[in-house]
């Protein structure tokens, strides 16, 4: 794929706190997220996965470096433009608390478009709803849905406005393996069938194996990456990673 | 545990401030009310004490309620007593004194001084003789010299300042007989401790005062100064045998306690009146405090459950919350008492602005004030905190630690009780007018209980009402913001209802008062239309009596067919107590007023006859032919009833002809003149003629029928504004409740707001959502309050129908204004929480656990 990447970070650094309490969460990260592909980000706890995702998605400011979504440099945008960009170009799935409790499943799915004041594409909406298999649950409130169903509603919401890119931070972290598999399968299908671009943070090698490319983070730096992962290869890589992480800093 | 509680308190400064503020406001109202009346009392007490001579010789009628004394001829004592009293052992001196109400000091434009502050007798001054003996005179000359001779007077310093005069300047005074006289200002006076009364005092020397107002050998009273060491009662007993009938001697102490008693009942009423408003505010504040604590506890359910899980007992959890509440209550109540002092100052200003002649004084803190205020703050806070805490502590720790917050109990019992109270209240309300038909007081009592039942019932049911009401209100808003906002209001109907409930109470009372006022205005206008056949009405400003010469001048005006004067005298009569008897010309009054006389006739009214209104006649069992003994300033008088008439607005009570009222002690002064023009002359011409005739009397006003109705309306409106000013505090507390609820809700919904921001809602969108939420809550509370309030108003009108409020009316504009103001208030209340919500950091919000 020669076209421009869906998202890209160049020399991205992120520092939290000040003085003594300073934490370098991201250290000069360069990454391209290819269009129409399913990318997984893995790494030990505290390695900066969530931070990277938040910076890429325009949810957090960066300390230095640039972040692009399409050809827009997020670091130059003001809050208003960022908000609009998130609304129109980006979809999110968080680990938990993805849905507004006072809205029905359907209302949650169409929320970004309702906020934008645009009409959802009904045919596309039907396709998504059938794909996530929630047609019978559309008028239910989140509290009346199971955890897996809630995450599938969140996925449907992320897809509904046809964003350029979807970010998912441990979307299956709270789910049992069967519900997790449903959600992951659905994410993968949206890449394969609709050409959606997805970036997913995960701890789970099994989840990572649904992706087409795994990027490994350690101490705020990209330490490695892997194409067409299988659970075994990822697990293997992670074990190595743990030993390296304990013995010596990762070579750049 | 106490340490944990304290740490908790300070960990959430914002919630602390918001909850504390509600306690402060409520306590401030209670404390302020007490401080205000105590201060008033104290300043009046000093005045009373210092003003009393050792013994005072005065007319027996002086113990008539002072409200009625201005109307009659001045009661007097003979000055021939002075040397006789001075001859007695133990008497240092006896000084005759003269006091005359109803003097009018004219300003440079020829208008009565202080006339703008009408309503409370504005525009009139008290004239008296200057007592040269300092021991008997609490007033001193601070500039110039005391008045001496027939062409000098002295004036109190506040009035002199208002007039812009200094000693040596000329001052024009309108005397009660209508004479305009110029005097030279000899000096400016001040009363020790500065009375601060908004009343004008004028002083002449004794001879001049006697010449102006009385005849030789007469005085209003004689003040006796005793030798040091002598006993007041002994001197009184020595004086008494010297006195003719109708004159009595009282000691300074007796006098002071008498005045004190009168003040007590007046102040007691004022205190009760203000406390009623304080209770309303407290009630509203209790809602707010309860609501806040419910939310705080709900938010901390998990934390409390964790404490339970690691082994804290239920008691310990409750105690920790209790400790928190007590600390908060004590601090906030103390601040509330301080704020109460400010509030008392505000009340003083409010009363002064309303024209009440109260002295502005330093503030008095009674221990009682502090105890009551502290208790009120403590009890309300602790109860408000413990109820939700108890609920929280019975939740199983495991349930509480689960992700979703625990749903509140179903509230079936609350609904049942609410339904019962509402039903019972409505039942009583239906009965009340029937009870009132027999006995207004009892009817009012039943209505009061009914109103309380309905209001509390509605408040208890309002969580049930909240759902349909918010659905209906949210139809006003399209789009996702409206949907989110209305969803939020339904998320916890109990909370929404409690928040709105505070506003419901305030709006309910304002609406009820508004309806009652509108009904009164309409009824009065109706009575004016029905009863007053006169084309013009002449009254004194502040309803002060005016010279009889006015009536003469009116009668002499071209185009005037009849001028019916109404003249009054104080008396004590069966069925009415201390009252004013009315004297009229029986023939002329019937041309000016259309009176219904079911028994006897006004035409029969002659010497020593009386007409009695039907209510009074019924209450004393009198009818045509019966004889009634009344006590006038001149002593007991027997009057024979010749007519029983239907009371017509202000025209009620005992009515006699003019010679009889004079015998009962009326002065040559009138309180109203009704003018009937002849058919041949145009109203404009008569009006112009009357205006010319009345030019020498700037203390009277000429009103045609519509202007007359307007003045009465204005007076009711003034009272109305005063009541609204007191209710505003309750409404403010209610609005603070909205701020509080929303601020805490925003806090609760941090993650949700973060999510909304993440999926693309702008800051403005977040703000809009919260503002709409506030609007829905406020409108819900206000609409419910208005419905209940209008119903109360209607009920009150029915109850008071026999008292002359015969017609029901609503001032739709005013009610609409309340709704608009409540909605605007709600929106304003949301601004700050909305701003805070829109400023939440998205990530902080998403990450928040
Ligand atoms: N708001 C913050 N303030 C200060 N430090 C932070 C903040 N957020 C993250 N950090 C720090 O930045 C580093 C990276 O955090 P991040 O949340 O990106 O890790 P992660 O890889 O997502 O970990 P996990 O797998 O546990 O979610 C950590 O050391 C963390 O302590
Ligand atoms: Mg993370």
pLDDT of B72 > 70? The answer is no
The rounded Cα B694 to chain-centroid distance in angstroms is 34
- A91 Cα–ligand 1 center, Å: 21
Q: How many Å is the Cα radius of gyration of chain A?
A: 18
Confidence class of residue B3 from pLDDT cuts 50, 70 and 90? low
What is the per-residue pLDDT for B192? 66
What is the per-residue pLDDT for B433? 83
Average pLDDT of chain B is 82
Q: Which helix (H) or strand (E) holds B613?
A: strand B609-613
pLDDT of B358 > 70? The answer is no
Number of H-type helices and E-type strands within chain B: 25, 25
pLDDT of A214 > 90? The answer is yes
Of residues B314 and A75, more confidently modeled: A75
Question: Contact, A40 vs A207, CB < 8 A?
Answer: yes
Question: Contact, B186 vs B148, CB < 8 A?
Answer: yes
Using a CB cutoff of 5 Å, list residues around ligand 2, an ion: A 50
Residue reference for tokens 């104290």: B42
What is the per-residue pLDDT for B615? 83
Tell me the C-alpha distance between B562 and B374, whole Å. 64
Q: Which of B477, B480, B754 to mutate to test the interface with A (most CBs of A within 10 A)?
A: B480
Q: Which range among B1-15, B360-374, B411-425, B650-664 shows the weakest confidence by mean pLDDT?
A: B1-15
CA-based torsion, B242, B247, B252, B258: positive or negative: positive
Q: Which of A59, A96, A100 shows the shortest C-beta gap to B484?
A: A100
What is the per-residue pLDDT for A215? 93
Confidence class of residue A191 from pLDDT cuts 50, 70 and 90? very high
Average pLDDT of chain A is 86
Tell me the C-alpha distance between B761 and B15, whole Å. 27
Q: Which of A54, A83, A97 shows the shortest C-beta gap to B843?
A: A54
Question: Contact, A212 vs A225, CB < 8 A?
Answer: no
What is the per-residue pLDDT for B545? 82
Q: How many Å is the Cα radius of gyration of chain B?
A: 33
- Burial, B272: exposed, middle or buried (Cβ in 10 Å; 0-12, 13-18, 19+)? exposed
Q: Which residue of A has its CA nearest to B842?
A: A59
pLDDT per residue over A91-143, tens digit each?
A: 888 877 778 888 899 999 998 888 888 888 898 899 888 877 888 989 998 88
From residue B405, alpha-carbon distances to A106, A151, B295, B314, B519 in Å are 23, 20, 11, 19, 50
Question: Contact, B380 vs B289, CB < 8 A?
Answer: yes
- A23 Cα–ligand 1 center, Å: 9
Tell me the C-alpha distance between A1 and A4, whole Å. 9
Q: Which range among A78-82, B385-389, B546-550, B628-632 shows the weakest confidence by mean pLDDT?
A: B385-389
Confidence class of residue A249 from pLDDT cuts 50, 70 and 90? very low
State whether A100 and B480 contact (CB < 8 Å).
no
3-state SS, one letter per residue, for B718-751: HHHHHHHHHHHHHHHHHHHHHHHHHHHHHHHCHH
Looking at chain B, the whole-number percentage of residues with pLDDT higher than 90 is 12
Tell me the C-alpha distance between B170 and B164, whole Å. 11
From residue B488, alpha-carbon distances to B56, B736, B774 in Å are 73, 19, 10
State the complex-level ipTM.
0.83
Name the residue with the closest Cα to ligand 1, atom 7.
A16
Task: Calculate the CA dihedral of residues B342, B343, B347, B353 and round it to 10 degrees.
Answer: 60
The bridge status of strand B91-97 relative to strand B635-645 is unpaired
Q: Which residue of A has its CA nearest to B479?
A: A114
pLDDT of A198 > 90? The answer is yes
Both tokens of residue B799?
Answer: 């109850």
Looking at the complex, report in whole angstroms how far the Cα of residue B781 sits from the nearest Cα belonging to chain A.
Answer: 22
Q: Is A94 on the interface with B (CB under 8 A)?
A: yes
- A55 Cα–ligand 1 center, Å: 12
pLDDT per residue over B455-484, tens digit each?
A: 889 888 888 888 888 888 888 887 888 888
What is the per-residue pLDDT for B126? 84
Q: Which domains does chain A have, with CATH numbers?
A: 36-60+76-244 (3.40.50.300)
Confidence class of residue B154 from pLDDT cuts 50, 70 and 90? very high
Name the residue with the closest Cα to ligand 1, atom 24.
A45
pLDDT per residue over B171-191, tens digit each?
A: 998 887 778 889 999 999 887
Question: Contact, B230 vs B181, CB < 8 A?
Answer: no
Looking at chain B, the whole-number percentage of residues with pLDDT higher than 70 is 88
pLDDT per residue over B131-150, tens digit each?
A: 888 888 878 888 999 999 88
Ligand 1 pocket, residues with Cβ under 6 angstroms: A 16-17, 23, 25, 43, 45-51
pLDDT of B288 > 80? The answer is no
Q: Which residue of A has its CA nearest to B407?
A: A143
Both tokens of residue B527?
Answer: 């009575």
CA-based torsion, B700, B706, B712, B718: positive or negative: negative
What is the per-residue pLDDT for A243? 60
pLDDT of B753 > 70? The answer is yes
What is the per-residue pLDDT for B196? 53
Classified as helix, coil or strand, B590 is helix
Classified as helix, coil or strand, A209 is coil
pLDDT of B450 > 70? The answer is yes
The bridge status of strand B221-226 relative to strand B152-156 is unpaired
Task: Please give the average per-residue pLDDT across B658-681, as a whole number.
Answer: 87
Tell me the C-alpha distance between B480 and A104, whole Å. 12
Task: Please give the average per-residue pLDDT across B273-302, as a whole number.
Answer: 77
Residues of A numbered 22-61 whose beta carbons fall under 8 angstroms of chain B's beta carbons: which are they? 54, 59-60
What is the per-residue pLDDT for B121? 45
pTM of the model: 0.77
Confidence class of residue B68 from pLDDT cuts 50, 70 and 90? low
State whether B762 and A117 contact (CB < 8 Å).
no
Contact residues of B toward A, CB < 8 A: 403-404, 479-480, 483-484, 487-488, 490-491, 751-752, 755-763, 765, 842-843, 846
Task: Please give the average per-residue pLDDT across B669-674, as a whole number.
Answer: 88
Q: How large is the angle between the packed helices B2-11 and B13-51, nearest 10 degrees?
A: 90
Number of H-type helices and E-type strands within chain A: 9, 10
Tell me the C-alpha distance between B794 and B514, whole Å. 10
Q: Which residues contact B287 (CB under 8 A, 6 or more apart)?
A: B498, B499, B501, B502, B505, B734, B737
| Neighbouring C-beta atoms of residue A10, cutoff 10 Å | 14
What is the per-residue pLDDT for B780? 92
The bridge status of strand B560-573 relative to strand B577-584 is antiparallel
Confidence class of residue B119 from pLDDT cuts 50, 70 and 90? very low
- Find chain B residues with C-beta within 8 A of A54's C-beta: 843
Looking at the complex, report in whole angstroms how far the Cα of residue A86 sits from the nearest Cα belonging to chain B.
Answer: 5
Classified as helix, coil or strand, B344 is helix
State whether B484 and A102 contact (CB < 8 Å).
yes
Tell me the C-alpha distance between B520 and B500, whole Å. 30
Confidence class of residue B532 from pLDDT cuts 50, 70 and 90? confident
pLDDT per residue over B576-619, tens digit each?
A: 777 888 999 888 888 888 888 888 888 888 888 999 988 888 88
State whether B757 and A60 contact (CB < 8 Å).
no
Q: ∠ CA A204-A208-A212 to the nearest 5 degrees?
A: 175
Classified as helix, coil or strand, B651 is strand
| Neighbouring C-beta atoms of residue A23, cutoff 10 Å | 12
pLDDT of B26 > 90? The answer is no
Tell me the C-alpha distance between B277 and B275, whole Å. 5
Q: Which of A80, A84, A102 shows the shortest C-beta gap to B491?
A: A102
What is the per-residue pLDDT for B309? 67
Question: Contact, B630 vs B622, CB < 8 A?
Answer: no
Question: Checking phi first, is residue B121 left (phi over 0); if not, alpha (psi -120 to 50) or beta?
Answer: left
Q: How large is the angle between the packed helices B493-531 and B812-839, nearest 10 degrees?
A: 160
Q: Which of A78, A87, A118, A141 to mutate to test the interface with B (most CBs of B within 10 A)?
A: A87
CA-based torsion, B260, B263, B265, B268: positive or negative: negative
Q: Which range among B259-268, B526-535, B752-761 shows the weakest confidence by mean pLDDT?
A: B259-268
pLDDT of B118 > 50? The answer is no
Q: Which of A59, A83, A84 shows the shortest C-beta gap to B843?
A: A59
Q: Which of A51, A99, A115, A158 to mutate to test the interface with B (most CBs of B within 10 A)?
A: A115
What is the per-residue pLDDT for A211? 93
- Find chain A residues with C-beta within 8 A of B761's C-beta: 83, 87, 115
pLDDT of B357 > 70? The answer is no
Looking at the complex, report in whole angstroms how far the Cα of residue B404 sits from the nearest Cα belonging to chain A.
Answer: 8
Q: Which of B404, B491, B761 shows the shortest C-beta gap to A115?
A: B761
pLDDT of B429 > 60? The answer is yes
């Amino acid at each position: 794929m020669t076209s421009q990447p869906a998202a890209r970070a160049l020399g991205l650094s992120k520092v939290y706190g000040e003085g003594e309490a300073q934490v370098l969460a991201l250290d000069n990260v360069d990454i391209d997220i290819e269009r129409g592909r399913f990318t997984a980000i893995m790494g030990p706890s505290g390695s900066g996965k969530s931070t990277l995702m938040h910076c890429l998605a325009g949810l957090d400011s960066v300390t230095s470096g640039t972040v692009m979504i399409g050809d827009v440099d997020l670091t130059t945008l003001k809050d208003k433009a960022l908000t609009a960009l998130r609304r129109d170009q980006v979809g999110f799935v968080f680990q938990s608390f993805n849905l507004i409790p006072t809205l029905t499943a359907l209302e949650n799915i169409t929320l970004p478009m309702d906020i934008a004041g645009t009409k959802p594409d009904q045919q596309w909406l039907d396709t998504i709803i059938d794909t996530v298999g929630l047609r019978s649950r559309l008028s239910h409130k989140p509290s009346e849905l199971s955890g897996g169903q809630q995450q599938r509603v969140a996925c449907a919401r992320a897809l509904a406005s046809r964003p350029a890119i979807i970010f998912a931070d441990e979307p299956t972290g709270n789910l049992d393996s069967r519900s997790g598999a449903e959600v992951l399968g659905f994410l993968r299908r949206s890449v394969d069938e609709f050409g959606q671009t997805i970036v997913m943070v995960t701890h789970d090698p099994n989840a990572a194996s649904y992706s087409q490319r795994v990027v490994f983070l350690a101490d705020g730096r990209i330490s490695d990456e892997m194409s067409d992962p299988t659970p075994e290869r990822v697990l293997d890589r992670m074990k190595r990673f743990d030993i390296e992480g304990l013995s010596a800093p990762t070579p750049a | 545990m106490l340490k944990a509680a304290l740490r908790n308190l300070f960990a959430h400064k914002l919630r602390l401030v918001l909850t504390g503020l509600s306690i402060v406001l409520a306590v401030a109202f209670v404390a302020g009310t007490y401080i205000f009346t105590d201060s008033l009392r104290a300043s009046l007490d000093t005045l009373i004490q210092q003003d009393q001579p050792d013994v005072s010789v005065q007319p027996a009628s002086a113990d008539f309620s002072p409200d009625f004394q201005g109307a009659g001829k001045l009661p007097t004592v003979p000055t021939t007593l002075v040397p006789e009293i001075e001859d007695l052992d133990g008497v240092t001196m006896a000084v005759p004194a003269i006091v005359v109400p109803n003097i009018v000091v004219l300003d440079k434009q020829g208008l009565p001084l202080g006339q703008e502050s009408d309503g409370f007798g504005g525009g009139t001054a008290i004239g008296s003789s200057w007592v040269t003996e300092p021991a008997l005179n609490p007033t001193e000359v601070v500039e110039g010299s005391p008045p001496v001779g027939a062409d000098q007077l002295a004036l109190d310093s506040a009035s002199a300042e208002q007039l812009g005069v200094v000693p040596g300047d000329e001052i024009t005074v309108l005397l009660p007989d209508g004479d305009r006289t110029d005097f030279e200002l000899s000096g400016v006076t001040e009363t020790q401790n500065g009375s601060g009364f908004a009343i004008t005092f004028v002083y002449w020397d004794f001879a001049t005062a006697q010449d102006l107002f009385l005849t030789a050998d007469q005085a209003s009273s004689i003040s006796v100064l005793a030798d040091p060491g002598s006993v007041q009662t002994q001197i009184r007993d020595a004086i008494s045998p010297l006195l003719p009938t109708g004159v009595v001697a009282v000691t300074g102490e007796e006098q002071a306690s008498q005045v004190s008693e009168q003040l007590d009942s007046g102040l007691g009423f004022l205190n009760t009146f203000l406390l009623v408003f304080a209770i309303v505010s407290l009630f509203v504040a209790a809602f707010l405090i309860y609501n806040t604590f419910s939310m705080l506890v709900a938010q901390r359910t998990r934390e409390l459950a964790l404490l339970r899980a690691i082994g804290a007992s239920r008691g310990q959890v409750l105690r920790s919350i209790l400790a928190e509440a007590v600390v908060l209550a004590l601090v906030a109540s103390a601040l509330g008492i301080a704020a109460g002092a400010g509030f008392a100052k505000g009340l003083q200003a409010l009363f002064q602005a309303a024209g009440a002649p109260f002295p502005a004084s330093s503030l008095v803190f009674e221990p009682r004030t502090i105890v009551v205020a502290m208790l009120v703050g403590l009890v309300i806070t602790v109860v408000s905190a413990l109820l939700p805490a108890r609920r929280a502590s019975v939740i199983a720790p495991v349930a509480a630690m689960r992700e979703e917050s625990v749903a509140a109990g179903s509230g079936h019992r609350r609904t049942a009780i609410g339904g019962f109270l509402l039903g019972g209240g409505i039942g009583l309300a239906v009965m009340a007018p029937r009870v009132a038909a027999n006995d207004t007081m009892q009817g009012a009592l039943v209505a009061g209980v009914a109103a309380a039942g309905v209001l509390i019932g509605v408040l208890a049911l309002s969580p049930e009402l909240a759902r349909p009401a918010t659905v209906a209100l949210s139809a006003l808003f399209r789009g996702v913001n409206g949907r989110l906002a209305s969803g939020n209001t339904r998320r916890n109907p109990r909370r929404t209802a409690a928040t709105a409930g505070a506003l419901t109470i305030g709006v309910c009372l304002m609406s009820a008062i508004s309806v009652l006022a509108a009904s009164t205005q309409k009824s009065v206008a109706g009575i004016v239309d029905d009863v007053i056949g006169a084309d013009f009405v002449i009254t004194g400003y502040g309803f002060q009596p005016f010279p009889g010469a006015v009536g003469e001048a009116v009668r002499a005006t071209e185009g005037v067919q009849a001028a019916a004067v109404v003249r009054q005298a104080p008396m004590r009569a069966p069925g009415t107590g201390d009252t004013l008897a009315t004297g009229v010309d029986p023939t002329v009054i019937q041309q000016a007023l259309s009176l219904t006389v079911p028994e006897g006739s006004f035409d029969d009214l002659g010497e020593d006859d009386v007409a009695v209104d039907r209510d009074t006649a019924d209450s004393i069992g009198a009818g045509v032919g019966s004889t009634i003994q009344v006590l006038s300033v001149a002593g007991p008088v027997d009057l024979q009833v010749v007519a029983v008439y239907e009371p017509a607005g202000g025209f009620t009570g005992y009515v006699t002809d003019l010679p009889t009222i004079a015998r009962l002690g009326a002065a040559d002064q009138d309180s109203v003149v009704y003018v009937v023009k002849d058919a041949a002359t145009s109203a404009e011409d008569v009006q112009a003629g009357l205006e010319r005739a009345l030019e020498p009397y700037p203390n009277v006003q000429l009103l045609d029928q519509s202007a007359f109705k307007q003045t009465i309306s204005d007076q009711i409106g003034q009272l109305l504004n005063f009541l609204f000013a007191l209710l505003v505090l309750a409404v403010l507390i209610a609005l603070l409740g909205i701020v509080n609820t929303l601020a805490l809700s925003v806090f609760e919904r941090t993650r949700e707001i973060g999510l909304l921001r993440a999926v693309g809602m702008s800051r403005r969108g977040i703000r809009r959502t919260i503002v709409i939420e506030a609007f829905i809550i406020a409108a819900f509370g206000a609409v419910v309050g208005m419905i209940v309030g209008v119903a109360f108003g209607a009920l009150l009108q029915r109850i008071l129908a026999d008292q002359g409020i015969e017609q029901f009316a609503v001032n739709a504009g005013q009610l609409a204004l309340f709704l608009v103001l409540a909605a605007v208030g709600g929106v304003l209340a949301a601004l700050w929480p909305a701003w805070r919500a829109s400023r939440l950091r998205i990530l902080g919000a998403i990450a928040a656990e």
